[in-house]
Structure 1
């Protein structure tokens, strides 16, 4: 089973288009999205419509929640422009997105539990960074009763392996899928993760599952110029170019 994980598209439709083309070129069995479809860019409706068209299970990111709140409050200040351009039908979709996705895979030696979140199991605004204290990180796995935790939000891709303190020789896997539409790791190309789980996958080994990060080029300069020609702050274009 090869699972593609996309996250943090942030209304960047050209980036999503190229990412989905990349996914279609691979032997992918399922695609999941960790949220933040909107914000920072000009094509939130196109992004949402494509995600719906492809029937991709999707979580509510903090920016998706913010868009719903702004529409409910009727805010019309310029700082809210990226959210104001989200259509009513698309807002209705965002308002119904779940906070978590849970999967279970039966391998030859155990049931592997996967939890997908936007930020953390506790909040879509909490950052789970790669250098998080090991004890605090493993406690999240124990509290959530999961073996593999997949998140987004920070836009910083990583795969960190932690030993289960309650079961020596068994490992947890923390995965951040990076960002499709607004990377922050100094590489402006789109990023998504591919997780491979096989019948023989064994979490008593550090390499019990395979995690790949795929980078996809797109016309970044065209996307950045479109931002500069819009009411959005020019700094959003600079962020795209420099990937921070």
Structure 2
């Protein structure tokens, strides 16, 4: 495996996913991985699940995927409520089958948030309403003693490629389907990428070293924003149309 496409946080945005797939197919990747939060969103959760179920990709679950099959539906937020109403048992069974993490090539660990917590940020710290890159020591603590050479994560929707002092490589490809959002955990904050583009990454092994490319590509984001508006999720409409969480 020499060239890997890395996808995360699709959030039911089949339009963005299709454009990403078309892009990496032209680049000749050997394998594809997805890092969770695959279908939850006021867009096209069932269509996205059905597409992903057909793929021979390495896939892991995110916090929203877990919540959809393990939490009491009465506790769902609006996003998971919509998704739960749209998907069928086939999609639920598939979500339930996804592991929370997996290792490939004995050196690359895939997960959503951190290896032990799919709802925790690995590379970012939230403080006083702001989100910023964490220190190496904070990141190492969150890796909780794992000793892989490469970690692939999602959850924050922020594209990053971080190399620790011991040359450990950590890649967050950003979000395929949602370029901005707000959250109140661990405290109220917002995440913004500044454009409506779909994002993913390619990691390629060249001369014994991994080279990472963080990729941002346009897609029909206005149709996705219109779908969010149709489903009465006006904040999602703004996020999808602008990449800002205003």
Q: Would you call these one fold, judging by a TM-score over 0.5? A: yes
The answer as to whether partners of 2:122 and 2:142 remain within 8 angstroms in 1 is no
Stretch of structure 1 that moved more, 92-101 or 81-90 = 81-90
Q: Which runs of 5+ in 2 are unaligned?
A: 125-132, 181-192
SS where residue 219 of structure 2 aligns? coil
Q: Which of the numbers 113, 130, 144 marks the counterpart of 1:119?
A: 113
Report the structure, 1 or 2, having the larger strand content. Answer: 2
Alpha-carbon spacing, 1:74–1:21, altered in 2? closer, same or farther (3 Å): same
The answer as to whether partners of 1:141 and 1:149 remain within 8 angstroms in 2 is no
Q: Which of the numbers 153, 163, 168 marks the counterpart of 1:172?
A: 168
Which consecutive aligned stretches of 4+ in structure 1 deviate over 6 angstroms post-superposition? Answer: none
What pairs with 1:9-24 in structure 2 (closer than 5 Å)? 9-24=10-25
Q: CA RMSD in A?
A: 2.0
- What's 1:217 paired with? 218
Q: CA deviation at 1:40?
A: 2.3
The answer as to whether partners of 2:36 and 2:62 remain within 8 angstroms in 1 is yes
State how far apart, in whole Å, the 1-side matches of 2:5 and 2:76 are. 37
The answer as to whether partners of 2:100 and 2:111 remain within 8 angstroms in 1 is yes
- What's 1:109 paired with? none
Question: Deviations for 1:29-62, whole angstroms, at most 9, x for unmatched residues?
Answer: 0001001112222211111111121222211111
State how far apart, in whole Å, the 1-side matches of 2:100 and 2:73 are. 24
TM-score with structure 1 length normalisation? 0.84
Alpha-carbon spacing, 1:141–1:235, altered in 2? closer, same or farther (3 Å): closer
What pairs with 1:188-207 in structure 2 (closer than 5 Å)? 188-198=196-206, 200-201=207-208
Q: Which of 1 and 2 has greater Rg? A: 1
State how far apart, in whole Å, the 2-side matches of 1:180 and 1:196 are. 19
TM-score with structure 2 length normalisation? 0.83
